[in-house]
Amino acid sequence: MSIVPLRGERALPRVASSRNGAGNRTHIDARQHVRQQGDFQVAGFLEGKNIAVTGAGSGIGKAVALHAASEGARVVVADYGVTMDGSNPTSEVADGVVAEIVGAGGTAVAVAGDVSEMAVGQAIVDAAISNWGSIDGVVCVAGILRERMLFNMSEAEWDDVVRVHLKGTFTVFRAALAVMRKQPTGGSLVGFTSGAFIGSTAQANYSAAKGGIVSLTKSAALTGLKYGVNANIIAPVAKTRMSDQVPFGLEMGAPEDIAPMVTYLLSDQAKDISGQIYTCVGPRISVWNQPKEVRSMFAPGLGRWTPEQIADILPRTIKTEEHPFLAELASRMKQMEERKAAEATAQG
């Protein structure tokens, strides 16, 4: 087993490549990525593309990496191999996914390192360029959890989660965009976020980091427009080791349900799609609206508002927009209080 550097060490990340028994790099046999569509045979959706996926050792990241490879892409499998809380790194996780891809006839290399380190983000992109000559798409899924109520959360619990999720997306996006802007074909960036729009009762660090990824990806979409680089966001709902921590029931699919949408966003057929947020849940794909003002009110005489005027006029005019999860949580809390009151009455 190769040893990966622990956090805080500045050793360069380990990069492993897949080779066949003869010592030559294993290449995709294009015939393995040809499928029948009606009366025609068509190549894989990502045939010839070089794609990097972070968090590719398990869950959604692994499903994305495997699906991209099955559609003809050469894949950089990036994963630090840590547990859900970010501890006990090992290169065996990324190596295992590479072996799975190669065993199915694909091409892949492994990068094991902390994606929040600038050197690791660069190494992930460099792995594609040094092995195959370009980087056509990156997908940032890597993340960890530090579950704690906001009033009990330590600085380290906040910093670790924001660092891996948000900075870990930045390091890869930055390195990739620096190369893609010079490529005639541009490229594609895909960020992952969930919990950014509704918040979280016990994972404020996670939802804040994911909100940052939304803004980062939308900024990348604006920056990349001139250079033929599109950037989009997947807000997934799937059963993974992280979603096991969700405290109450939500509709969930499997990681494999999300991978085809990511493959599409990485393909040439989605080059004109940018700055979008898509949710994938089982068989359902949804697009989110773009944030915009819903209603406005103006101060009397177009002067400056006073708090008294706002208190009088706001409830009758622009009002509020319902927060569905906040309303559900309030309803659950009320039910619990009523149940406790009923039990107390029965016991009294």
> What does the alpha-carbon distance between residue 281 and residue 90 come to, in Å, rounded to a whole number?
31
> What does the alpha-carbon distance between residue 310 and residue 182 come to, in Å, rounded to a whole number?
51
Please give the pLDDT value at position 16. 58
Over residues 126-152, the pLDDT tens digits come to 999 999 999 999 999 999 988 899 999
> What does the alpha-carbon distance between residue 87 and residue 80 come to, in Å, rounded to a whole number?
9
Helical H runs in 22-135?
59-70, 92-103, 118-132
109 three-class SS: strand
What phi and psi, each to the nearest 5 degrees, are found at residue 14? -80, 130
Long-range contacts, stretch 268-272, CB < 8 angstroms, 24+ apart:
269/45, 270/188, 270/230, 270/232, 271/186, 271/188, 271/228, 271/230, 272/230
Q: Token match 């006029």: residue?
A: 313
Asked if 154 and 196 touch (Cβ cutoff 8 Å), the reply is no
Strands 14-17 and 108-112: antiparallel
Over residues 190-212, the pLDDT tens digits come to 999 987 777 787 889 999 999 99
> What does the alpha-carbon distance between residue 197 and residue 182 come to, in Å, rounded to a whole number?
34
**Catalytic residue positions, numbered:** 206
Which two tokens mark 30? Answer: 């294009």
Residue 91: closest CA among 18, 164, 6, 1: 1
Asked if 111 and 14 touch (Cβ cutoff 8 Å), the reply is yes
Q: How wide is the angle at C-alpha 257 spanned by C-alphas 252 and 263, nearest 5°? A: 140
What phi and psi, each to the nearest 5 degrees, are found at residue 34? -110, 130
pTM more than 0.75: yes
Count Cα atoms within 13 angstroms, Cβ side, for 18. Answer: 26
Question: Which domains does the chain possess?
Answer: 14-287 (3.40.50.720), 300-347 (no CATH)
Which two tokens mark 91? Answer: 């290169």
Spell out, as residue ranges, where the chain has pLDDT lower than 70: 1-43, 85-86, 238-252, 348
Asked if 55 and 140 touch (Cβ cutoff 8 Å), the reply is yes
Asked if 262 and 64 touch (Cβ cutoff 8 Å), the reply is yes
Asked if 63 and 255 touch (Cβ cutoff 8 Å), the reply is yes
